[in-house]
Amino acid sequence: MPITTISEKLSVSPQPSIEDIQSLHDKGFKTLINNRPDDEDPSQPGTQAESQEAKHRGLSYAFIPVTAGTITEADIRAFQRVVDESEGPAFAHCKTGTRSLNLYLIGEVLDGRLSADEVVEFGRSRGFDTSAAASWLEKKAARRPQVEGVFDKRTWSVQYVVSDPATRKCAIIDPVLDFDERAGATATINADAILDYVRDNGLTVEWILDTHPHADHFSAAQYLKEKTGAQTAIGERVVDVQKLWKGFYNWPELATDGSQWNRLFAHGETFKVGSIDAKVLFSPGHTLASITYVIGDAAFVHDTLFMPDSGTARADFPGGDARVLWKSIQEILALPDDTRIFTGHDYQPDGRAPRWESTVADQKKFNPHLAGVTEGEFVALRTKRDKTLPMPKLILHALQVNIRGGRLPEPEANGRRYLKFPLDALKGAAWE
Ligand SMILES: N[C@@H](CCC(=O)N[C@@H](CS)C(=O)NCC(=O)O)C(=O)O
Ligand SMILES: [Fe+2]
């Protein structure tokens, strides 16, 4: 049994026999890791026999079976955890040792201790063909969209251009159409800056995505659709928000079938941004229709989680619900720990510069609304805080535009557009 020492904590080897396993303890190993699925060939001992023998010899045992083409990040993290937690050197094997070494190498690159270019040579110099680890890392890099955040300081909103480096196709998420409520003036400063970025980077816009009908700014989806011809989309439950606000605005003529968008996404639906896979999670609680877009390794969570130093979104708008928001957040936090989380607002606590990117791991560890907090505590703190928050200053302006996909009201006979406000419709809202 040729054993190759990889590090102080890890050696790899081809399939050991039961007698070989008996000798591991004397060789100073503390843990046996089996990376080989059972039944690959009839002569292998299999996990039950290996585990029994390991325990008999006082070794810890871990079964993390993988095949070359189906290694997941969870496998890599599980492998790392076992090696880390081993009280001394760990001994890992598959059929030849290559898969075990690949798991190690991918983990080293993901954690920045090794560069992806060094993976093949690392294996070759030790007698292994580790090209499968290199291609795993290449594929992962291709799944990683480039994300450009554009901060709108008037509404503390973050708009995104998410692009696929391979095809140069992109999606725009939650674009803002500028509005000054004092002058009743609209402008396309933010949307035009986004279009400049798209042009300067040679991108083609495939999608204009909204995470929910925003209550604090107009959506620039319609304007950008006219400029780019891209498809607009939002969560399918937007129809419930339309029905709710149709009543508030007393607009019998409003179509409440979501026909104002090109596509309505349901929970679990998938689509592509260029060659990158994207998936939709239904994330209600802040609104009835909120969704999260998971594009490659990046999740656009908009008003669920804010930055870890800022907590979470409010849940007191019509159709909001703190308990439902908690559930949606738990689903987001169940994504892999290194998923990049991009929030939709940053209210710049203590005047710090705006920030919008975190990770699932950061959120779990540092977000004061989540770390060590139970569902009951979350609901209590969210409800208490929401009682103190006045309505966003543009809620009544924004929803009449956003439930129509970012379309301004039609002009009247004089060519001018007018907004309409229900008085005393939002009961119980805090006054500033
Ligand atoms: N002062 C802002 C408030 C905006 C607001 O209510 N933002 C929502 C997201 S649309 C939120 O969750 N705020 C959380 C908080 O302020 O704690 C405005 O008037 O626009
Ligand atoms: Fe919002």
Of all protein residues, whose CA lies closest to atom 19 belonging to ligand 1?
Answer: 392
Same domain, 274 and 381: yes
- pLDDT on residue 205: 98
The pLDDT of residue 116 is above 90: yes
Among 141, 165, 192, the domain boundary falls at 141
CA of 83 to the centre of ligand 1 (A): 45
With CA atoms as reference, report the closest residue to 198 among 168, 237, 157.
168
Identify residues whose C-beta is under 5 A from ligand 2, the ion.
Answer: 303
Total domains in the fold of the chain = 2
Same domain, 218 and 341: yes
CA distance 141 to 156: 31
Write out pLDDT tens, residues 238-250.
Answer: 999 999 999 999 9
Write out pLDDT tens, residues 318-353.
Answer: 999 999 999 999 999 999 888 999 999 999 999 999
Is residue 400 included in any domain, yes or no? no
Among 141, 171, 192, the domain boundary falls at 141
CATH number at residue 28: 3.90.190.10
For residue 128, the enclosing domain spans 4-141
Same domain, 45 and 58: yes
pTM for this model (two decimals):
0.78
Averaged over 62-73, what is the pLDDT? 91
CA distance 228 to 264: 19
Which atom of ligand 1 sits closest to the CA of residue 216? Answer: 20
Same domain, 228 and 206: yes
Q: Quick one: CA torsion of 341, 342, 345, 346, rounded to 10 degrees?
A: 70
Cα separations in angstroms, 60 against 25, 45, 112 = 10, 17, 28
Is residue 41 included in any domain, yes or no? yes
Is residue 423 included in any domain, yes or no? no
Which atom of ligand 1 sits closest to the CA of residue 214? Answer: 10
Is residue 418 included in any domain, yes or no? no
Q: How many CA atoms lie within 13 A of 89 on its CB side?
A: 16
CA of 405 to the centre of ligand 2 (A): 15
Which atom of ligand 1 sits closest to the CA of residue 344? Answer: 9
Share of the chain above pLDDT 90, in %: 93
Give the residue, out of 176, 216, 367, 391, with the most ligand 1 atoms within 8 A of its beta carbon, to mutate for a pocket test. 216
Count of beta carbons in the 10 Å neighbourhood of residue 251:
16
The pLDDT of residue 23 is above 80: yes
Same domain, 239 and 214: yes
Same domain, 70 and 215: no
- Output the ligand 1 site: residues, CB below 6 A: 155, 215-216, 303, 313-314, 345, 347, 389, 392-393
Of all protein residues, whose CA lies closest to atom 3 belonging to ligand 1?
Answer: 392
Query: Strand order of the sheet with strand 218-219?
Result: 185-187, 176-180, 218-219
Same domain, 125 and 151: no
Same domain, 51 and 157: no
Averaged over 65-75, what is the pLDDT? 89
Averaged over 169-185, what is the pLDDT? 97
With CA atoms as reference, report the closest residue to 214 among 408, 347, 405.
405
Write out pLDDT tens, residues 357-408.
Answer: 999 999 999 999 999 999 999 999 999 999 999 999 999 999 999 999 999 9
Same domain, 111 and 244: no
Is residue 402 included in any domain, yes or no? no
Q: Could you say which DSSP state residue 339 is in? A: -
Among 89, 113, 141, the domain boundary falls at 141
With CA atoms as reference, report the closest residue to 151 among 352, 335, 299.
352
Write out pLDDT tens, residues 120-164.
Answer: 999 999 999 999 999 999 888 877 999 999 999 999 999 999 999
CA of 392 to the centre of ligand 1 (A): 6
CA distance 55 to 71: 27
Is residue 407 included in any domain, yes or no? no
Burial class (CB in 10 A: 0-12, 13-18, 19+), 7: exposed
CA distance 211 to 162: 14
The pLDDT of residue 1 is above 90: no
Same domain, 153 and 273: yes
Of all protein residues, whose CA lies closest to atom 4 belonging to ligand 1?
Answer: 392
CA distance 11 to 19: 18
> Can you say how many angstroms the Cα of residue 87 is from the centroid of all Cα atoms in its chain?
34
Of all protein residues, whose CA lies closest to atom 2 belonging to ligand 1?
Answer: 392
Place of tokens 């079976």: 65
- pLDDT on residue 19: 94
Is residue 53 included in any domain, yes or no? yes
Write out pLDDT tens, residues 255-290.
Answer: 999 999 999 999 999 999 999 999 999 999 999 999
CA of 388 to the centre of ligand 1 (A): 11
Is residue 113 included in any domain, yes or no? yes
CA distance 235 to 284: 10
The pLDDT of residue 200 is above 80: yes
CATH number at residue 342: 3.60.15.10
CA distance 353 to 423: 37
Same domain, 154 and 98: no
Same domain, 304 and 380: yes
CA distance 242 to 254: 8
- Residue 239 main-chain phi, psi, to 5 deg: -65, -35
